[in-house]
Amino acid sequence: MRLILLGCPGAGKGTQARFVCERYGIPQVSTGDMLRHAIKEGTPLGQQVKSIMQQGTLVSDDIIIELVKERIQEPDCKNGFLLDGFPRTLPQAEALTHEGVTIEYVIDIHVEDEEIIHRMTGRRFHPGSGRTYHVDYHPPKQAGMDDETGEPLIQRDDDKEETVRKRLEVFHAQTKPMMEYYLKEFKSKGVPQFHCIDGRAKVSEVTKEILAILDGGVSCPS
């Protein structure tokens, strides 16, 4: 099983990725994981990546594609893999296809922007322990204070509304053309199956819908 799980920041993609990987015994392969893995293994490509990162420059799409090809040859990918954070753009998706990496499913966990903004801007964080809260969904006993220490909670910069809106703008600009590409690929080749599911539902319901798709109980919409 080879799949790409899409979703804007705050859509719950990471949570669902863990469930899928546990259910089907496949690894979650993220861009960061691939970079660290290649460096740790000391492969020629890994040495090249290490040099690039030490210089503080971005790793090119060409190298990332090669990392994907190298990573999915590892034994733990024998039964498939879940790509997380890649591809992010249309050129990356096209390059993945060009290199012969077949993807069977593309699943988009869709949540409207205003709901995402509400989810993310409401998060609060205790720096000392890493405990997280939400002002509406999981509030602390005393507003603005950690339950265990009584210390002030903070809102991380990434969770501030201006930042969240900018991240969503970038996500939509990059992802919409890629979604259209995979829909076109399905119509012309039959793969990958492309599904968009409602991420506003309970976590368990979203999981149930994803597993139904992957178990073959839900056909791809025309």
| 167 part of the active site | yes
| 119 part of the active site | no
Query: Which has the closest alpha carbon to 67: 24, 96, 109, 104?
Result: 96
Active-site residue, from 2, 13, 119, 124: 13
| 71 part of the active site | no
Active-site residue, from 40, 156, 160, 208: 156
Active-site residue, from 88, 131, 165, 200: 88
| 124 part of the active site | no
The one-letter amino acid at 62? D
| 156 part of the active site | yes
Check residue 200 and report its DSSP letter: T
Active-site residue, from 36, 131, 165, 167: 167
The verdict on whether omega for the bond into residue 75 sits within 30 degrees of 0, i.e. cis, is: no
CB atoms within 10 A of CB 149: 11
Active-site residue, from 71, 119, 123, 124: 123
Which residues participate in catalysis according to the annotation? 13, 88, 123, 156, 167
